[in-house]
């Protein structure tokens, strides 16, 4: 049953992992999350202690006061304060955390606009910023099944964000991503994921290190390498990297 509910998420994640776009489509994430968790509002919240946060939200029934309330979330929202204090990464609902007097006043504002039940899903961010995908609705607490679905979604989103971050880094590397290299990779029928794994391997990263960077298993990394060997007509990693470099899929790296 859960796999059926997550079918759209699996399609979304699959498309992202085969893409060399460096930005995650957070509006689509918000739309999918709102549907999955039966919430009128869902989206991305990025913040840091004592720094105003930014919200990218998908709203099915926009509330005029919500932007003002959301702008104060980093200092007042019980879940924001919880994640800053604990630095944990688990999916958490608002009723599961301790609430201060200030937090209770803030929740009363949320209740007034029909948004007092929140479920937050932490995802990787840059630097000291914190980042969550969240859904909110009125009155009804999120159920155990919904919490379980959110945990499954978190696993998918972590992989998508790590892939996006790796692609972004690759785009900023001299000799990295270009239209010509993409066209050449397509001629060899290499997917974006395979090229990315091969590029990281060409930098001397082990399968375990690549797995950590992309939040996948070492076995999955090895499977990507096996696919590149077959498509490039080689039998090992060094030969695959050399052929990819000679054909223009990857940049040859200088050695000192």
**pLDDT exceeds 80 at position 61:** no
**pLDDT exceeds 70 at position 57:** no
- Percentages helix, strand, coil for the chain (3-state, rounded to 5) are 55, 15, 30
At residue 227 the predicted structure's pLDDT band, cuts being 50, 70 and 90, is very high
Residue-range domain boundaries for the chain: 2-161, 173-247
pLDDT value at position 3? Answer: 81
Higher pLDDT, 181 or 93: 93
- Considering just the CA atoms, what is the radius of gyration of the chain in Å? 21
**pLDDT exceeds 80 at position 50:** no
pLDDT value at position 62? Answer: 60
Would you tell me the crossing angle of helices 192-202 and 179-187 to the nearest 10 degrees? Answer: 110
**pLDDT exceeds 50 at position 256:** no
At residue 64 the predicted structure's pLDDT band, cuts being 50, 70 and 90, is low
| pTM (global) more than 0.75 | yes
Per-residue pLDDT tens digits for 87-103: 999 999 999 999 989 99
CATH of 173-247, one of 1.10.238.10, 1.10.630.10, 1.10.10.10, 1.20.1250.20: 1.10.10.10
Q: What CATH number is given for 2-161 in this structure? A: 3.30.450.80
């Amino acid at each position: 049953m859960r796999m059926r509910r997550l079918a759209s998420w699996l399609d979304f994640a699959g498309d992202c992992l085969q893409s060399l776009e460096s930005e995650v489509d957070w509006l689509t994430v918000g739309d999918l999350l709102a549907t999955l968790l039966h919430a009128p509002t869902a989206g991305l919240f990025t913040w840091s202690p004592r720094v105003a946060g930014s919200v990218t939200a998908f709203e099915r029934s926009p509330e005029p006061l919500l932007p003002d309330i959301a702008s104060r979330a980093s200092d007042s929202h019980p879940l924001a304060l919880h994640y800053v204090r604990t630095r944990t990464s688990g999916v958490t609902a608002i009723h599961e955390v301790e609430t201060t007097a200030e937090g209770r006043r803030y929740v009363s504002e949320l209740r007034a606009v029909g948004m007092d039940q929140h479920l937050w899903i932490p995802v990787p961010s840059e630097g000291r910023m914190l980042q969550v995908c969240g859904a909110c609705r009125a009155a009804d607490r999120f159920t155990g099944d919904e919490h379980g679905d959110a945990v499954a979604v978190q696993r998918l989103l972590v992989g998508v964000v790590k892939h996006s971050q790796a692609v972004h880094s690759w785009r900023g590397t001299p000799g990295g991503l270009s239209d010509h290299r993409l066209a050449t990779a397509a001629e060899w029928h290499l997917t974006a994921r395979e090229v990315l794994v091969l590029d990281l391997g060409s930098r001397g990263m082990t399968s375990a290190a690549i797995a950590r960077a992309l939040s996948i298993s070492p076995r999955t990394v090895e499977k990507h390498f096996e696919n590149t060997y077959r498509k490039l007509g080689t039998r090992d990693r060094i030969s695959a990297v050399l052929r990819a470099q000679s054909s223009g899929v990857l940049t040859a790296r200088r050695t000192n």
